[in-house]
Amino acid sequence: MKPQPLFQALADPSRRRILKLLQPGALSAGELSDHFAFSLASLSHHLSILKSADLICAERRGQHIIYSLNTSVTEELYRLIADLLKVTSGEPA
């Protein structure tokens, strides 16, 4: 997992809101779009950023593409944050 795309992806409030919306279950781009004022094209752009950061998965189901949280990345994200903010106090790594 690369830190930069991950932190970058989380830096936008709309993208964090997308993650929240996906918590109860997978949704299509169209369903997600109902919750935002911007265009479907902009949403699609946000989704591609979240996908590149491995925060979500995409799966085509007929005409729709449904998006779901990639929860496996959560653990790794915890570790990243811990590594970033822990105090080493001179102990060896």
Contact residue for a second copy among 27, 43, 47, 69 (CB under 8 A): 69
Q: Which two tokens stand for residue 27?
A: 């949704």
Helices marked H in the chain = 3-10, 13-22, 29-33, 40-52, 72-85
Could you say which residues in the range 17-56 bind a second copy, by CB under 8 A?
19-20, 23-25, 55
Element (H, E) at 69: strand 64-69
Contact residue for a second copy among 34, 62, 63, 90 (CB under 8 A): 90
| Alpha-carbon span 15 to 31, nearest angstrom | 15
Q: What is the Cα 71 distance to its own chain's centre?
A: 9
Contact residue for DNA among 24, 25, 41, 92 (CB under 7 A): 41
Region near DNA per CB under 7 A, out of 16-24, 25-33, 69-77, 83-91: 25-33
Binding site for DNA (CB under 7 A): 8, 11-12, 14-15, 28-31, 33, 37-49, 58, 60, 62-66
